[in-house]
Amino acid sequence: MPDLSSDAAEIRAATFRLSRRLRQQRAVTTMSDGQFSVLIALKFRGPHTLTALAEREDVTAPSMNRTVNCLEELGYVTREPDADDRRKVNIAITEAGLAVVEETAHRRNEWLAGVLAQLPEEDRATLRAAAAIILEAIER
């Protein structure tokens, strides 16, 4: 098998820099990546218990509780009693939280579209193909 460490290092460095620049494009500049990740999970996966969110984000329950408390104080999430089990509390995203997610996605797409607009079509086609290859490889 060939030594792919040099290729891996180049791809890792490029994707890390791209990811960092995309994370800078956000609707609320004071929001941490962890807080935003929780909003994304709630938007796309629906309400979660604190424990389920902690497991999903691979953090401790006390850490997730601090994150949720902060998001709740800002009006981005609510805590609601579970309809089937009153001992459980579900965390749900609010309209304000949805607005933050949507505006952040818009800003990130606009920023990346501006970068792509500076490239020739051939390079954009190469990047589209590379994106498909990367997604296929990591979803195996």
Predicted model pTM: 0.84
The arithmetic mean of pLDDT across residues 30-44, rounded, is: 95
Instruction: Give residue 86's pLDDT.
Output: 82
Helix (H) or strand (E) holding 78: strand 77-81
| Cβ-Cβ contacts under 8 Å for 35 (sequence gap 6 or more) | 67, 70, 71, 76
Q: Could you tell me if 91 and 66 are in contact, meaning their C-beta atoms sit under 8 angstroms apart? A: no
Residue 49 sits at φ, ψ, to 5 deg, of -75, 165
Q: What confidence tier does 70 reach under pLDDT thresholds 50, 70, 90?
A: very high
pLDDT beyond 90 at 3? no
* Domains (range + CATH), the chain: 21-138 (1.10.10.10)
The arithmetic mean of pLDDT across residues 54-71, rounded, is: 96
Instruction: Give residue 125's pLDDT.
Output: 97
